[in-house]
Chains A and B, each alone.
Chain A
Amino acid sequence: MQFDVHRSSLEPAFPAGVVLRALGDLDMAGVPRLRSAVVSEVDGGTRLLVLDLTGVDHLDSAGLGAVIGALRRLRTHNGDLRLVCPEPRLRRVFEACDLDRVLELHDDVDAAVGQATIR
């Protein structure tokens, strides 16, 4: 499935908070769409970004690179990125790159924002 991103706001519970739900194949073809969505959020003032990968069919290293890029972009702007990734088949990709040890993967959006701290 062609990659797309759906946006929903977390306000007012979480000021400057947004959920991006990723859908489809997050590969080299899908990366530009994710990157532009993240750039647009950060430029628009979003500082707590929840990236929900539940609807992702395929994830590979190009997609992981974009996720890491998103994390760095948020942190550079004193924000934070939270990942929702309940699917074992997707977690396996993080694990195969040892990224599960430096990135926390949450089961749902509630769990991801439960420990949100807006800096």
Chain B
Amino acid sequence: MSRGSGRSSAGIELVIPPRPEYLQLVRAIVGAATGTGQVGAPLLDPGRVADLRLVVSEAVTNAIEAQVAVGAPERIVVRCRPEKDRIVVEVVDRGPGFDPGAVPDLPPVTDAERLDHESGLGLSLMDRLADGAVVETGPDGTLVRLTVEYS
């Protein structure tokens, strides 16, 4: 993991039970954290704050689902790190993990069969709306690192 000069000492760590009721809290705090970067740093555009809240919500939803699926009661960690030119959010769970490459491609959107796929949309949202979305799965769980740049 890069720890270059752009890394700020600022940051927030949230530890939540794997329950859907906490999603709203995570979104509110991550949204507020975009304003806690270095003094003089540019503010994130409101539309991009909305994107960040959405992709973080997706990652935490996946983490909750992963842990509920195996009955793992461990808490989920959300680390939020405003940097000079970007904000990085990491979501760490203790679930069994998944292989993004193993997720089947969705049918073409011109096809009504697209509506047969209620799941798998979250990964699509993370890919499209974050500037970076990295999934690292290990024996102890999964880490998703999302980056949104202050462009």
A45 close to B (CB within 8 Å): no
**B contact patch SS:** helix
B64 pairs with A102, CB closer than 8 A: no
A62 pairs with B114, CB closer than 8 A: no
B20 close to A (CB within 8 Å): yes
Residue tally, chain B, CB below 8 Å to A: 28
B5 close to A (CB within 8 Å): no
A101 to B47, CA, bound (A): 22
| B-facing residues in A22-62 (Cβ within 8 Å) | 25, 27-29, 58, 60-62
**A contact patch SS:** helix
Interface string of B81-120 (1 = CB under 8 A from A): 0000000000000000000000000000111101100110
A102 pairs with B115, CB closer than 8 A: yes
Q: Which residue of B lies closest to A97 (CB)?
A: B121
B109 pairs with A68, CB closer than 8 A: no
6 contacts between A and B (CB under 8 A): A25-B24, A28-B65, A71-B115, A96-B125, A99-B121, A102-B112
